[in-house]
């Protein structure tokens, strides 16, 4: 049996993962008679598992594997991720010297393997660099340096300093640099506390654990061949996108050339993780032993949900939603209480949070004991669900509405979060706008869906940002009105970025920026604004509207059905992810497909801004309809 690095990382999530993989494999290969499921009780358990993994397509009769989900955005962006890997290889030779072995195809990369207890462990190295002094093992990750550089510390009332020092494009932990006066920047205790975060496998240390598994495989190979003396030359690095890099706009055959920027930054920067991966080795060794037990036992029985499940994260276990976490209600679960990352304190004074609530049997919102509910907004959520009532603070909404200046510019951007910058002035993962929709509301409720709408959508992958700015400023007066959006901070950030990249438009764009107002300030709240308007701190931080259908979320996809019959279901492009995919695939489309998808992108973005118009009108009507009631705050059926 062969175990790759990816297998190792997934198989050690929990005891159940390996068994589920085996069950699925046997089901796909033959009529299953799984060896550990002979009793009637176990057969029923097996059938339940299979029913969770596979479902029948009613139209075709084919079985669908629900655990193998296609990430269309990842597929659409694959060419850009390949650029990250290839650029990391090129830049490694400039940074480390010597010769680097790297390749687009995994099978052409340097490989290490060893065998233990009848299992072959194998890993491929993204970049194998060898110079006169060292052998450098480099793992490439399409993330940015920002998350690591933000590990900062300081003395009281002093500037903050990163725990890393960048020297010749390599980031070193300051505590490992000879003669570095670390204590002048922060207390040693604080440095160690920040450094400890790198050892958290399921959070900041996720990619470092990946590299540590690779190190374990490499060292085991050398030890098995009695050549471990060579390991003294090995050093281990993460290669990530440099968050400080700004693309200078150099192209060759219409493709970006990633030279050093004007500040000397490379597109890729490297983090020396040699000491951290060494500290991880005991954990990896223990995980290896655990993996072998899991392979031997093949125990598919349920186990507690933990951080290893990756609930609602990009690395969520593929079996979570269909098998292990399927008991979590889709709406109004105990995890849907707003602002509840800290969970609840039980009768024994113990805090229970996250999936531990599910482990303890608190599945639904109403399963949480009333005496645990201490926050006003949690009480409102509970009562809305329990008594099927809608909560409205009509006074806050009415006064919030009075803050709007007309015309209202309902604005929505669609953006491309490309790992590598495509246009001059951009940086890795900038949310580069390729489309906007604008609905102009001239007076309360005065906005025509067609006549008062402007959409700009890039027709190519060329840089059309300047034309986008001109179109915006043609229809938006920077000197009056309100820039209005749901989560307006996103739109404001895009406008500020464009202002800095195109200084000739900076004055007008920044005037628009200053006029931002968020739809969520009316539906949810803006505690600072409402306190300034004279409301108490408690009332200011409590949302203005709540309906059980929101299920703890104020996203536009949740709020829209509450206030309007407008639906995204019949659209070709239904959400922001699909918009990214269609734009990213422009060059792969036929002429006919491009025309269809181009129009679909326009319709989708237009719907986003019209949805805001409809919600705003609905809020006006709610306040008006409740005006006969003398109370400021109303719960109604």
Q: How many domains does the chain have?
A: 1
436, 428, 462, 379: which is closest to 576 by C-alpha?
Answer: 436
Give the integer Cα–Cα distance in Å for 401 and 523.
11
Triad 65, 66, 68: Cα angle to 5° = 75
Reported as a single tens digit per residue, the pLDDT across 8-20 is 999 999 999 999 9
Q: Residue 86 falls within a domain, yes or no?
A: no
Binning pLDDT at 50, 70 and 90, where does residue 42 land? low
Provide the CB-side half-sphere exposure for 217 (13 A, CA).
26
* Phi, psi (degrees; rounded to nearest 5) at 626: -95, 0
User: Does 203 reside within a domain?
Assistant: no
Whether 628 maps to a domain, the answer reads yes
Q: Is residue 373 part of a domain?
A: no
For the segment 592-604, what is each residue's pLDDT rounded down to a tens digit?
Answer: 999 999 999 999 9
Long-range contacts of 575-580 (CB under 8 A, 24+ apart): 575/604, 576/414, 577/72, 577/73, 578/72, 578/604, 579/414, 579/435, 579/604, 579/605, 580/73, 580/76, 580/77, 580/414, 580/415, 580/416, 580/417
* CA terminus-to-terminus distance, the chain: 61
- pLDDT band (50, 70, 90) for residue 83: very high
Q: Is the pLDDT of residue 93 over 60?
A: yes
241 DSSP β-pair partners: 144, 268
- Can you give the pLDDT at residue 1? 84
Count, residues in the chain: 637
DSSP code at position 353:
-
**pLDDT tens readout for residues 108-120:** 889 999 999 999 9
Do the beta carbons of residue 610 and residue 453 sit within 8 Å?
yes
Whether residue 603 is contained in a domain is answered as yes
Confidence of residue 23 (pLDDT cuts 50, 70, 90): confident
User: What residues contact residue 62 under an 8 Å CB cut-off, 6+ apart?
Assistant: 56
- What pairing do the DSSP bridges indicate for beta strands 482-485 and 408-417? parallel
CA 333 – CA 135 distance, rounded (Å): 51
pTM, whole model, 2 decimals? 0.91
Which of the residue ranges 43-52, 366-375, 398-407, 429-438 would you say has the lowest mean pLDDT?
43-52
Share of the chain above pLDDT 90, in %: 86
DSSP 550-617: GTT---HHHHHHHH----STT-SS-SHHHHHHHHHTGGGS-HHHHHHHHHHHHHHHHHHHHHHHHHHH
Is the separation of the CB atoms in 109 and 4 below 8 Å? no
The pLDDT score that the predictor gives to residue 635 is 67
Contacts of 203 (CB under 8 A, 6+ apart): 197
Tokens 């059309």, located at residue:
464
> How does pLDDT run across 337-384, given as a tens digit for each residue?
998 889 999 999 999 999 999 999 999 999 999 999 999 999 999 999
In the sheet that holds 99-101, the strands lie side by side as 99-101, 127-130, 135-144, 234-241, 268-272, 170-173, 164-167
Position 69 scores a pLDDT of 74
Q: How far apart are CA 457 and CA 56, in angstroms?
A: 39
Assess whether pLDDT exceeds 80 at residue 500.
yes
Query: Residue 477 and residue 181: Cα distance in Å, rounded?
Result: 53
What pLDDT is recorded for position 423? 97
Is residue 487 in a domain? yes
Alpha-carbon span 103 to 318, nearest angstrom:
28
Looking at every residue in the chain, the average pLDDT score rounds to 92
User: What CATH number should be reported for the domain holding residue 607?
Assistant: 3.30.420
- CA 321 and chain centroid, separation: 17
Check pLDDT > 90 for residue 54.
no
Alpha carbons 65 and 319: distance in angstroms, whole number: 11
pLDDT tens across 439-460, in order? 999 999 999 999 999 999 999 9
3-state secondary structure 245-281: CCCCCCEECCEECCCCCCCCCCCEEEEECHHHHHHHH
Q: What is the pLDDT of residue 34?
A: 47
pLDDT tens digits for range 537-550: 999 999 999 999 99
Residues of the domain holding 575: 396-636
């Amino acid at each position: 049996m062969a175990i790759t690095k990816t297998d190792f990382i997934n198989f050690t999530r929990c005891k159940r993962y390996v068994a589920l993989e085996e069950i699925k494999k046997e089901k796909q290969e033959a009529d299953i008679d799984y060896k550990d499921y002979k009793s009637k009780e176990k057969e029923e358990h097996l059938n339940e598992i299979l029913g969770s993994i596979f479902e029948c397509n009613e139209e075709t009769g084919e079985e669908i594997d629900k655990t193998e989900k296609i990430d269309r955005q990842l597929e659409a962006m694959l060419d850009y991720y390949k650029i990250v890997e290839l650029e990391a290889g090129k830049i490694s030779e400039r940074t480390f010297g010597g010769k680097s072995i790297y390749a687009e195809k995994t099978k052409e990369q340097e490989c290490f393997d060893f065998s233990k207890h009848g299992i072959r462990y194998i890993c491929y190295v993204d970049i194998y660099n060898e110079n006169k002094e060292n052998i450098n093992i480099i793992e490439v990750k399409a993330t940015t340096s920002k998350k690591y550089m933000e590990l900062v510390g300081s003395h009281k009332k002093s500037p903050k300093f990163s725990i890393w020092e960048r020297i010749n494009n390599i980031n070193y932990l300051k505590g490992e640099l000879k003669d570095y006066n670390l204590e002048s920047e922060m207390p040693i205790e604080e440095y160690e506390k920040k450094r400890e975060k790198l050892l958290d496998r399921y959070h900041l240390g996720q990619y470092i654990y990946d590299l540590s598994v690779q190190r374990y495989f490499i060292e085991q190979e050398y030890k098995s061949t009695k050549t471990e003396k060579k390991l003294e030359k090995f050093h281990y690095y993460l290669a990530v996108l440099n968050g400080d890099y700004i693309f200078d706009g150099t192209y060759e055959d219409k493709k970006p050339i990633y030279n050093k920027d004007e500040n000397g930054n490379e597109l890729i920067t490297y983090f020396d993780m040699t000491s951290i991966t060494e500290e991880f080795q005991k954990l990896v060794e223990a995980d290896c032993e655990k993996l072998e037990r899991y392979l031997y036992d093949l125990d598919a029985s349920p186990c507690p949900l933990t951080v290893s499940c990756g609930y609602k994260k990009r690395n969520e276990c593929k079996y979570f939603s269909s098998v292990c976490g399927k008991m979590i209600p889709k709406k109004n679960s105990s995890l849907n209480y707003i602002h509840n990352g800290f969970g609840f304190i039980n009768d024994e004074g113990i805090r229970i949070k996250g999936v531990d609530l599910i482990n303890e049997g608190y599945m639904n919102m109403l399963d949480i004991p009333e005496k645990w509910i201490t926050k006003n907004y949690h009480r409102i959520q509970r009562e809305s669900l329990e008594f099927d009532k809608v909560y409205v603070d009509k006074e806050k909404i009415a006064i919030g509405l009075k803050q709007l200046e007309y015309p209202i510019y309902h604005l929505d951007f669609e953006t491309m979060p490309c790992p590598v910058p495509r246009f001059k002035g951009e940086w890795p993962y900038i949310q580069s706008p390729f489309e906007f929709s604008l609905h102009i509301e001239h007076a309360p409720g005065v906005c025509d869906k067609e006549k008062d709408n402007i959409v700009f959508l890039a027709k190519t992958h060329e840089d059309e940002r300047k034309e986008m700015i001109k179109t915006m400023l043609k229809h938006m007066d920077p000197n009056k009105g309100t820039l209005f959006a749901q989560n307006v901070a996103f739109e404001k950030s895009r406008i500020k970025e464009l202002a800095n990249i195109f200084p000739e438009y900076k004055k007008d764009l920044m005037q628009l920026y200053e006029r931002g107002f968020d739809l969520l300030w009316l539906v949810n709240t803006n505690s600072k604004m409402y306190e300034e308007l004279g409301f108490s701190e408690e009332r200011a931080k409590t949302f203005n509207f709540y309906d059980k259908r929101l299920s703890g979320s104020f996203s536009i996809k949740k709020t829209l059905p509450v206030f309007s019959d407008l639906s995204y279901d019949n659209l070709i492009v239904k959400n922001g992810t699909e918009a990214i995919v269609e734009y990213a695939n422009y060059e792969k489309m036929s002429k006919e497909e491009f025309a269809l998808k181009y129009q679909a992108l326009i319709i989708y973005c237009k719907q986003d801004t019209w949805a805001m118009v409809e919600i705003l009108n609905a809020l006006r009507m709610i306040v008006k309809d409740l005006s006969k009631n003398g109370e400021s705050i109303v719960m109604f059926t």
